[in-house]
């Protein structure tokens, strides 16, 4: 019988495979989507437009009936590599005070103890090696350098945004993806796992419509994205129960402001600066500039935690496929208010006039307004589910998963991905996802 099956070949699944490979274990990775190459979409002029889900044939919405929350453009990129071939490479650590609420064992492993580097430092070092030895905060354009100076002059502790990317010339770049190193013989594309069932000596994985033979394995690692993994775990632990079960789910809360600078000059590559972490709004402030027609688009945005008390709820049951209940609005509105203050302060420092509307404004609407009013800033908001940062539901050390990433009620079955985060904090999830892949595999039986 095969030692281990990994379900999902996205960011988490491919990173788990790399660790299994290093550990010399026998494994296979099952991915629902097809092979569409392993090249990051920004590396190729013909694929950069795929960042827009509406133009991407691999895009598959999370929900059969999307609503305002996790709407029609929240979903997987169902293909080998998953969203690791789309991400922007932004690598931030979860803030220390938020990690303080994670189980001590995991926190210590991530941060390191007794002067020993932890998994965050080791993962960053591996990414730095991949970036041809460049620091993740290496300035990538002259504009980035100038923006750092400008923001530092305004009192911000600005650095180029930490990103695991390599420049390829002519404005093209690629972000790190663990899928590039996966040996082809280990991969089975077009294999959607519809259920995981316990058997005496391991697990049976039911594929597709269940009509064919099941795959029997000793161990399984579920990496099917946060919602997909919750659904598979729920079926494994509670299959047959009528009552729907509830899992908390969070995204990030984000808003920004756009300014079109018609006479700006800019390199082909976008520039991105991490201006500051703002403690009152518990948000990161990032300022970006990129070519926009004949001019430049300035996009300053803040991204913070969706507070745990304002988590959405995933309902899963045999009679109920995945359904989402909305979060408490008041706590979200409070974050948004504080974020608007951060943007207002930046605008004041930079001498910008801001056009603010109380209601929700999409990025596209704000852009149209900014194009019509060059030099004036227009605010926009992201809706919950729009950022591809869905996390939680199967917290490390929580009800379903122990501190090593194993399911408490299913020995030999582990989980990896942002679903493991006990709290998300403001940071983008992938650096932590990559570090947790190492953490979980190193502790597998």
Ligand X SMILES: Cc1cc2nc3c(=O)[nH]c(=O)nc-3n(C[C@H](O)[C@H](O)[C@H](O)COP(=O)(O)OP(=O)(O)OC[C@H]3O[C@@H](n4cnc5c(N)ncnc54)[C@H](O)[C@@H]3O)c2cc1C
Q: Which residues contribute to the site for ligand X (CB under 6 A)?
A: 7-13, 30-33, 51, 76, 78, 82-84, 86-90, 192-193, 223-226, 228, 388-389, 417-418, 428-430, 433
Report, in Å, the least distance between residue 222 CB and ligand X.
9
Query: What are the Cα distances from residue 251, in Å, to 311, 337, 402, 445?
Result: 8, 17, 23, 32
Q: Are the C-beta atoms of residues 402 and 388 closer than 8 Å to each other?
A: no
Report, in Å, the least distance between residue 212 CB and ligand X.
14
Report, in Å, the least distance between residue 90 CB and ligand X.
3
User: Two tokens at 25?
Assistant: 């274990």
Report, in Å, the least distance between residue 48 CB and ligand X.
11
User: Two tokens at 92?
Assistant: 């931030």
Report, in Å, the least distance between residue 140 CB and ligand X.
14
Contacts of 368 (CB under 8 A, 6+ apart): none
Q: Which is nearer to ligand X, 9 or 257 (CB)?
A: 9
Taking the C-alpha atoms of residue 166 and residue 292, their distance in angstroms, rounded to an integer, is 22
In which element (H, E) is residue 198 found? strand 193-199
Helix or strand or coil: residue 120?
A: helix
Q: Which is nearer to ligand X, 232 or 366 (CB)?
A: 232
Q: Which is nearer to ligand X, 88 or 219 (CB)?
A: 88
Sign of CA dihedral 57, 61, 66, 68: negative
Taking the C-alpha atoms of residue 238 and residue 247, their distance in angstroms, rounded to an integer, is 13
- 190-202: b (≥16 Cβ within 10 Å) or e: ebbbeebebeeeb
Report, in Å, the least distance between residue 404 CB and ligand X.
18
Report, in Å, the least distance between residue 424 CB and ligand X.
11
Q: Which is nearer to ligand X, 33 or 264 (CB)?
A: 33
User: Two tokens at 203?
Assistant: 């697990």
Taking the C-alpha atoms of residue 184 and residue 161, their distance in angstroms, rounded to an integer, is 33
Report, in Å, the least distance between residue 85 CB and ligand X.
8
Q: Which is nearer to ligand X, 247 or 369 (CB)?
A: 247
Report, in Å, the least distance between residue 435 CB and ligand X.
12
Q: Are the C-beta atoms of residues 217 and 348 closer than 8 Å to each other?
A: no
The residue sitting closest to ligand X, measured at its beta carbon, is 10
168-172: long-range pairs with CB below 8 Å, 24+:
168/43, 170/268, 171/267, 171/268, 171/269, 171/291, 172/42, 172/43, 172/44, 172/45, 172/269
Q: Which is nearer to ligand X, 335 or 416 (CB)?
A: 416
């Amino acid at each position: 019988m095969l030692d281990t099956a990994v379900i999902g070949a996205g960011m988490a699944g491919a990173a788990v495979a790399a660790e299994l490979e290093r550990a010399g274990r026998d494994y296979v990775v099952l991915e629902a989507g097809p092979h569409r190459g392993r090249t990051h979409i920004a590396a190729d002029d013909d694929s950069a437009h795929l960042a827009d889900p509406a133009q991407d044939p691999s895009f598959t919405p999370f929900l059969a009936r999307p609503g305002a929350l996790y709407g029609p453009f929240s979903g997987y990129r169902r293909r080998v590599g998953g969203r690791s071939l789309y991400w922007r490479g932004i690598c931030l650590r979860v803030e220390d005070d938020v990690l303080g609420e994670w189980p001590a064992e995991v926190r210590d492993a991530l941060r390191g103890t007794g002067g020993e580097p932890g998994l965050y430092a080791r993962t960053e070092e591996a990414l730095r090696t991949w970036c041809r030895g460049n620091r993740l905060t290496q300035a990538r354009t002259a504009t980035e350098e100038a923006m750092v100076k400008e923001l530092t002059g305004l009192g911000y502790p600005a650095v180029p945004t930490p990103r695991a990317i390599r420049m390829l010339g002519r404005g093209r770049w690629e972000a790190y993806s663990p899928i590039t190193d996966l040996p082809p013989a280990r991969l089975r594309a077009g294999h959607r796992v519809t259920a995981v069932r316990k058997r005496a000596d391991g697990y049976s994985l039911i594929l597709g419509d269940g009509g064919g033979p099941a795959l029997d394995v000793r161990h399984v690692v579920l990496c099917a994205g946060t919602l997909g993994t919750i659904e598979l775990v729920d079926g494994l632990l509670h299959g047959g129960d009528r009552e729907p079960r509830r899992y908390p789910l969070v995204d990030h809360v984000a808003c920004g402001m756009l300014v079109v600078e018609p006479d700006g000059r800019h390199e082909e590559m976008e520039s991105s600066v991490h201006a500051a972490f703002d403690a009152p709004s518990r948000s990161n402030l990032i300022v970006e500039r990129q070519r926009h027609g004949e001019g430049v688009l300035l996009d300053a945005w803040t991204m913070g935690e969706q507070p745990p008390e304002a988590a959405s709820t995933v309902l899963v049951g045999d009679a109920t496929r995945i359904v989402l209940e909305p979060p408490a609005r008041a706590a979200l509105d409070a974050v948004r208010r504080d974020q608007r203050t951060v943007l207002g302060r930046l605008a004041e420092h930079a001498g910008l006039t801001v056009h603010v509307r109380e209601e929700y404004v999409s990025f596209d609407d704000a852009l149209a307004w900014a194009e019509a009013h060059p030099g004036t800033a227009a605010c926009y908001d992201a809706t919950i589910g729009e950022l591809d940062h869905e996390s939680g539901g199967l917290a490390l050390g929580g009800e379903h998963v122990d501190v090593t990433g194993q399911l408490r009620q299913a020995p030999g079955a582990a989980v990896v991905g942002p679903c493991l985060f006990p709290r998300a904090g403001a940071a983008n999830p992938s650096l932590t996802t990559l570090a947790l892949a190492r953490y979980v595999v190193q502790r597998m039986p």
